[in-house]
Structure 1
């Protein structure tokens, strides 16, 4: 039987993301970059995002290898994309903003005021907003039946 030369298997690799709790410096867009909100995930390391430039174009975004399987992106997330000079309808995901970072960007005026950030199914929101959110609420009796 061969001698083990490595330091562990896939469970060791799974637990490497321990430094996520640290506060990181807020990154603003530069030229050639744009803020976007993910509309839907397409699979194969791609997503469709609505860019927040002046015309609000939908772009097919490629999740780069540094983020792939390390940073999980879902629909509704705020991301920073790098625009391509040669393809206007495609972009590359550079960074995913955490919810508190997205709120800071909105407070600084980088994101438009009418944009909804991280729509979730948590209670405590206004009753007017329940029509916009597709959530399933269970009664206690319904949970017991499942």
Structure 2
């Protein structure tokens, strides 16, 4: 019988979620950074975003975040702007939903930003019955 040469199976590769219970420190933008909302995921670690300054940019997800932090459409992220390309940026950080609500409360995000795209607002009367009911 062959000798095992590996260090474990697929559970070892998945890793542990040790940071689930603790809250993160809220990070604000600095010079050369901007808040953005993801419009759609494009694949190949890229996404199309609408920045707070009104510019639509193509963003690249950095390697440290790949397969560890999952980004979906509607998420609020912090992007680093490029000096030499205005229409491209790099994703630095993904804000969790409670962090995005705190940013909106502090006035960092505009009031018209919809944080929870999947949840129907009370003011949104047209989207009240946008689901299919099976009998």
CA positional deviation for 1:109: 0.5
Question: What stretches of structure 1 move > 4 A for 4+ residues in a row?
Answer: 132-135
Residue matched to 1:106: 104
CA positional deviation for 1:21: 3.2
**Mapped partners of 1:134, 1:89: distance in 2:** 37
Q: When the two structures are superposed, what TM-score results if normalisation uses the length of structure 1?
A: 0.82
**Mapped partners of 1:133, 1:58: distance in 2:** 29
5+ residue gaps, structure 2: none
Residue matched to 1:48: 48
C-alpha offsets along residues 45-72 of structure 1, whole Å, 9 cap, x if unaligned?
000000112xx11000000011111111
Instruction: Call closer, same or farther: CA 1:105–1:11 in 2, change over 3 Å.
Output: same
5+ residue gaps, structure 1: 142-146
Instruction: Call closer, same or farther: CA 1:12–1:71 in 2, change over 3 Å.
Output: same
**Mapped partners of 1:129, 1:42: distance in 2:** 28
- Does residue 13 (structure 1) correspond to residue 13 (structure 2)? The answer is yes
**Mapped partners of 2:4, 2:125: distance in 1:** 55
SS of 1:13 mapped into structure 2? helix
CA positional deviation for 1:81: 0.3
Q: When the two structures are superposed, what TM-score results if normalisation uses the length of structure 2?
A: 0.89
Q: Matched residue pairs, number? A: 135
Cα RMSD for the two superposed structures: 2.0
1:41–1:74 CA contact under 8 A, matched in 2: yes
C-alpha offsets along residues 105-128 of structure 1, whole Å, 9 cap, x if unaligned?
000000001111121246xx41x4
SS of 1:20 mapped into structure 2? coil
**Mapped partners of 1:58, 1:110: distance in 2:** 18
Map 1:25-64 to 2 at 5 A.
25-53=25-53, 56-64=54-62
